[in-house]
Structure 1
Amino acid sequence: MTLPPTGYRHQMTSPSLVLGPMLRYVDETRASVWVETDRAGTVVVEAGEVRAEAPTFAVHGHHFALVCLTDLAKRSKTTYRVLLEEQQVWPPADPAVPALPAPLAPTLDDAKPLRLAFGSCRTSVGHDADGNRTHGVDALRAYALRMAGLTDAAHEDDPDPGDEVRWPDLVLFLGDQVYADETTDAMQEFIASRRSLEEPPGEELQDFEEYAHLYRLAWSDPVNRWLLSTLPSLMIFDDHDVRDDWNTSQAWKDSMEARPWWHGRIVAALASYWVYQHIGNLSPEELAQDEIWQQITAHEGPGELDASSLLDAFAERADQEPESYRWSFARQFGDQARLVVVDSRAARVLEPESRSLLDPHEMEWLDAQLRGDVDHLLIGTSLPFLLAPGLHYVEAFNEALAGGAWGRRGTRVGEHLRQVADLEHWAAFQDAFLTVSAMVLEVARGHRGTTPGTVTFLSGDVHHSYVSTAAPTRRAARGQAPVRSAIVQAVCSPIRNPLSRKWRFATAALSYGVAGPLGHVVARSAKVPDAPLHWKLKKGPWFDNNLATLEVHGRRLRMWWATGVLDGDDDAAHDRPRLRAVARVEVGGTS
């Protein structure tokens, strides 16, 4: 699909949407709709008898609005339309895919089992033979085609058996929604139209304008665009939304800040993330408390507010003073579940003497969120909390090495390995890992309210999927109340960015083979403390492009992973992949 440049001033008489509508925050009676428009104006959303509006605000020549519908009927699915300056801009009069249903605004129903889709790591290339050959079938798009009724499931392994295909209530994107450092040919073509690829940062993104185009490439496919208009979404960033290994260590950050282009890049990354991803995560009450949103909504004109300088200054401060802003958020789904989504990138403390994955304010916030009194405590974190056990101890050893456990020479070697081998997950920040492990065990023992059926980490990042289950070690269990919750790590990665076959083999061999005996040996040599948990694989690993779904069943969770498959090699087959289950897992206690 060829897209016109972003940021242009539309000179035609009819207004239009550049991106969206995207359905973001929803609850029992409210739904927020996010759009990017081609011009300033008032955006109206009509859903049945409900009508809401909001003025656009500008950021570096782009126009955005977030409209909150209220007083929607409980347990309803209402079609809606979007108007700009009282002209209908969605659904378009001549839709790209006429067979797609009208967009819906569904409200949550706490009386039915919560169903949540989740996954991470999605690159944006075409859905033709070339794109599917290089990047595999887009699992999100295959999911959308099935939900739109345009394809059936693969007959031999239906991911959602039953007489009626049921929509998820929400989808949680766990990072790398866009790749700012590993750009596609289409993105490089746009960059080259603005500046030389021979000058730093070359094929990587430089500023807000380039981020705007990257999001447009990611969210413009008509089928995925329809899905995002109807399926409420939650999002958190990971490193590639900014740059590979983002905030690995202080040495990494010092190296990046010495590059002349980095300041513009990090400011554009965080400013665009706030606009395109973050504000849609927040409830109307949370938005009302957001310092930037307050200034945007306080604008009384005349004309549209230009928030460019406001957002740039905010993004610069958020990078340099991570405690000044919280990207993490939490959602409550009646008594069924609490979802706590944790920023494991921007909130890091990188000083070698006080290194932590979460700064003190972030850890205090997380401590307040990790409570029982729900059937399931779900913790969304882009980086897996529980890696393969051997790899966990390799990363813990590396942190000790980089921290001086074997002297100054060992520190240099440890820092080099940390960056080269991406040794920067929770395991590489042992203080945070041990602190959160203690919190989780307190929840599972009933010290923080009634024990849930599961405490389940939902993660991505590692380009393979798996499920692990954990329990306290004998030492950690001695003299303590019994653990009554299943402790689970569920990973879904990638949605569309598969490893090559040689890297699949290397990942499996290193993470689940070599790292096993090696990790414990080297960790003991550096006097790394034993984890209070021991864990093992319940299912996996597997390397397909896939999107996972979980469903609450009392104190048990049912989860399944689904991928897109092709019925042939012609254009029609590549454009209409079917959905097939890759794995199914059930975890948790009895009702």
Structure 2
Amino acid sequence: MDSSLVLGPMLRFVDETSASVWVETQSRAVVVVHAGGRSWQADTFSVHGHHYALVELDQLEPGSTLPYTVEIDGEQVWPEEGSPFPAPAIRTLTSDRPFRMSYGSCRTSEVNDLAAHKTHGVDSLLAFALDLAKRDEENRPDLIAFLGDQVYADIPSSEMLQLIRDDRGISTRLDAELRNYEEYTQIYRIAWNGTAIRWLLSTVPSAMIFDDHDIRDDWNSSLLWKRKVETIPWWRDRIVSGLASYWVYQHLGNLSPEDRAADEIWQAVVSHEGPEEFELAPILEAVVEEADQDPERYRWSFCRDYGDVRLIVLDSRAARVLEPGQRSMLDRKELQWLDERMQGGRRHLLVATSLPFLLPRGLHHIEDWNAVLADGRWGERLALLGERIRQAIDLEHWAAFPASFRAVATMATEVAQGERGAAPETVTFLSGDVHFSYIEEVDQPMQSRVLQAVCSPIRNPLRPALRWVAAVMSTRVAGPVGGFLSRFVPRTPFHWSTLKKPWFDNNLASLEVTEEGLKLRWDTGVVREGNHGAPQLEEVTSIVIAPRPAESRETPSR
């Protein structure tokens, strides 16, 4: 690989007529993408001495497949010479192609050998990439969505730990955590390196959203949590660097051309004039620092339409309001933004949020009760106890923000009952975070089926002892305990139950719109014949979510 290309290319937003290609380069450069006999180019911008470009391709033909190459300062750097993988290609969307996507969360960046497989398991994303390279282009997904924890800033990989040791040493556990923008650039390089992973990200469009470990475990779980971490001397550098690097490496590529045109940070890049490379850091860091203090300052959520499928990707970390008595998973503007996009009139409505919207019901009621306890309903002393419980056992999912949960549940119910346009076949929440996978379904009769489909982890399995605890807490213990505690909190808008009980494999989920319904499948990586560097893909489980009978899906008269 040419040394002028540090990371990428990554194929990011793609629709019917446009595409975006992201790269990181060694130095200031002009980046050119060639496809279909045409060329598009962009100058790099810099952040703290690192150089990036987003090349915007426009006026593409819907439903076309365009192999492409990337040049940096006139020299081709992608695809690599002698690559064993198919040529990277841009497949634009078309309404007559059934939508397919893959998704998952929680991926540690360790090497692929016997020792690492014993501690971290097989990398499902690597197995998926190697399997995808064998398929023809028509059988590749339209999107791969990473729903949080692509990088672990608080629990770095072995390679990242060594870089920290070499740079500044490690004396305490806190010393092992990332501190600045430079270290974030290294952890992204480690996460997205490797020939197969780079090929995958260069040929399958991707969407991304953060979760807590992108910043720190339990990020924004409560106001007390926030006040505590803000006493760490280097925390300001950490949160600003984490959010700034997230904008560069993940969020920028999520944006459509229209969203980029409205984004104040990107507009600073494209409006720059002058002979010098544009240094984005001062503007970028000022915005993200303000956004950390005021969740309404900047929106990280985004929405994409794929023919008759809508995908809403929600920020369930930075948009939180943490003040007791006002706690909300989504701030006021974010909730309004979501409300405007939770509409029917399409075959499937997908809501991707890193944290599961529907936990196994017993766990939900425990978190709901704890949220009320910690909010002070039964006095300040019990509120402090509730806060200790919350932080000790990570009770900070949607259920821990009861008002937000009920607001979004009401939106989903109105969509499913045909009150916001023709009811879709499904309203499906896609999530990760919890390090086990499962499916829940709302029992209440509605025109649409309302589901929660979790895929976690891609590569970061729970230890066997913790698997037992999670399984018991999700079923045998949480059920009766949660049922008892539910008497002390407002009733949930609907009832739901488990469609598939939790399983604990490293896996990546796939979703496909078929004539029979919404097909969901989870695959894991397995090592055969001792070939640890080339795991194979193997199905864990699958299910087809058939639509309700047509007569039950007619819009009710009003």
Q: Do they superpose with TM above 0.5?
A: yes
Of 315, 327, 345, the residue aligned with 2:317 is 345
| Helix, strand or coil at the partner of 1:507 | helix
The answer on 1:292 being equivalent to 2:265 is: yes
> How far 1:50 sits from its partner (Å)?
2.0
> How far 1:415 sits from its partner (Å)?
0.3
Determine the C-alpha separation between the residues in 2 that align with 1:19 and 1:402.
44
Determine the C-alpha separation between the residues in 1 that align with 2:275 and 2:16.
35
Q: How does 1:421-570 map to 2 (within 5 A)?
A: 421-472=393-444, 483-524=446-487, 527-554=488-515, 556-569=517-530
Contact 1:452 1:555 in 2 (8 A): no
Tell me what 1:115 maps to.
Answer: 100
Of 198, 208, 211, the residue aligned with 2:181 is 208
364-373 vs 63-72, which moves further: 63-72
| Helix, strand or coil at the partner of 2:410 | helix
Determine the C-alpha separation between the residues in 2 that align with 1:516 and 1:199.
40
Residue identity matched to 2:65: K
Tell me what 1:387 maps to.
Answer: 359
Tell me what 1:133 maps to.
Answer: 118
Alignment deviations for residues 395-426 of structure 1 (CA, whole Å, 9 cap, x no partner)? 01110110112222211110001011000000
Query: Is the alpha carbon distance of 1:565 and 1:200 closer, same or farther for their aligned partners in structure 2, counting shifts above 3 Å?
Result: closer
Residue identity matched to 1:300: E
Q: How does 1:361-376 map to 2 (within 5 A)?
A: 361-376=333-348
TM-score, normalised relative to structure 1: 0.91
490-499 vs 552-561, which moves further: 552-561
Aligned residues: 549
The answer on 1:253 being equivalent to 2:216 is: no
| Helix, strand or coil at the partner of 1:194 | helix
The answer on 1:69 being equivalent to 2:57 is: yes
Of 124, 142, 146, the residue aligned with 2:127 is 142
Alignment deviations for residues 23-76 of structure 1 (CA, whole Å, 9 cap, x no partner)? 000011211000000000111111121210011000011000000112223222
Q: How does 1:124-273 map to 2 (within 5 A)?
A: 124-149=109-134, 166-198=139-171, 201-273=174-246
Residue identity matched to 2:545: V
> How far 1:78 sits from its partner (Å)?
1.3
Residue identity matched to 1:89: V
Contact 2:20 2:55 in 1 (8 A): yes
Alignment deviations for residues 114-159 of structure 1 (CA, whole Å, 9 cap, x no partner)? 0011111000000122222211111111011011129xxxxxxxxx
Determine the C-alpha separation between the residues in 1 that align with 2:15 and 2:546.
26
> How far 1:578 sits from its partner (Å)?
1.1
Tell me what 2:540 maps to.
Answer: 582
Determine the C-alpha separation between the residues in 1 that align with 2:521 and 2:79.
32
Tell me what 1:276 maps to.
Answer: 249
Of 356, 374, 379, the residue aligned with 1:402 is 374
> How far 1:194 sits from its partner (Å)?
1.8
Contact 2:32 2:72 in 1 (8 A): yes
Determine the C-alpha separation between the residues in 2 that align with 1:54 and 1:149.
32
Residue identity matched to 1:275: V
| Helix, strand or coil at the partner of 1:354 | coil
Of 15, 20, 30, the residue aligned with 2:8 is 20
Determine the C-alpha separation between the residues in 2 that align with 1:532 and 1:92.
54
Contact 2:101 2:512 in 1 (8 A): yes
| Helix, strand or coil at the partner of 2:532 | helix
Query: Is the alpha carbon distance of 1:554 and 1:325 closer, same or farther for their aligned partners in structure 2, counting shifts above 3 Å?
Result: farther
Contact 1:494 1:544 in 2 (8 A): yes
Tell me what 1:315 maps to.
Answer: 288
| Helix, strand or coil at the partner of 2:476 | helix
Alignment deviations for residues 323-353 of structure 1 (CA, whole Å, 9 cap, x no partner)? 010000001112x211011100000000001
Residue identity matched to 2:142: D
> How far 1:175 sits from its partner (Å)?
0.5
Contact 1:101 1:148 in 2 (8 A): yes
Contact 2:345 2:421 in 1 (8 A): yes
> How far 1:199 sits from its partner (Å)?
5.9
Tell me what 1:159 maps to.
Answer: none
501-510 vs 193-202, which moves further: 193-202
Contact 2:516 2:544 in 1 (8 A): no
Residue identity matched to 2:31: V
Determine the C-alpha separation between the residues in 2 that align with 1:207 and 1:446.
48
Determine the C-alpha separation between the residues in 1 that align with 2:118 and 2:3.
37
Residue identity matched to 1:272: S
Determine the C-alpha separation between the residues in 1 that align with 2:497 and 2:362.
10
Tell me what 1:478 maps to.
Answer: none
Unaligned runs of 5+ in 1: 4-13, 151-162, 473-481
Tell me what 2:554 maps to.
Answer: none
TM-score, normalised relative to structure 2: 0.96
Determine the C-alpha separation between the residues in 1 that align with 2:9 and 2:212.
26
Determine the C-alpha separation between the residues in 1 that align with 2:129 and 2:400.
37
> How far 1:278 sits from its partner (Å)?
0.2
Alignment deviations for residues 438-492 of structure 1 (CA, whole Å, 9 cap, x no partner)? 11111011110000000000000000111111033xxxxxxxxx62000010000
Contact 1:201 1:261 in 2 (8 A): no
Contact 1:485 1:588 in 2 (8 A): no
Residue identity matched to 1:211: Y
State the Cα RMSD in Å: 1.6
| Helix, strand or coil at the partner of 1:35 | strand
Residue identity matched to 1:302: P
Tell me what 1:304 maps to.
Answer: 277
Alignment deviations for residues 73-101 of structure 1 (CA, whole Å, 9 cap, x no partner)? 322221111111111121233x5xx3112
| Helix, strand or coil at the partner of 1:344 | coil
68-77 vs 302-311, which moves further: 68-77
Tell me what 1:39 maps to.
Answer: 27
| Helix, strand or coil at the partner of 2:67 | strand
| Helix, strand or coil at the partner of 1:551 | strand
> How far 1:554 sits from its partner (Å)?
4.8
| Helix, strand or coil at the partner of 2:201 | helix
- Structure 1 segments of 4 or more deviating over 3 A? none
Contact 2:409 2:493 in 1 (8 A): yes
Contact 2:108 2:459 in 1 (8 A): yes
| Helix, strand or coil at the partner of 1:340 | strand
Residue identity matched to 2:109: S
Contact 1:375 1:554 in 2 (8 A): no
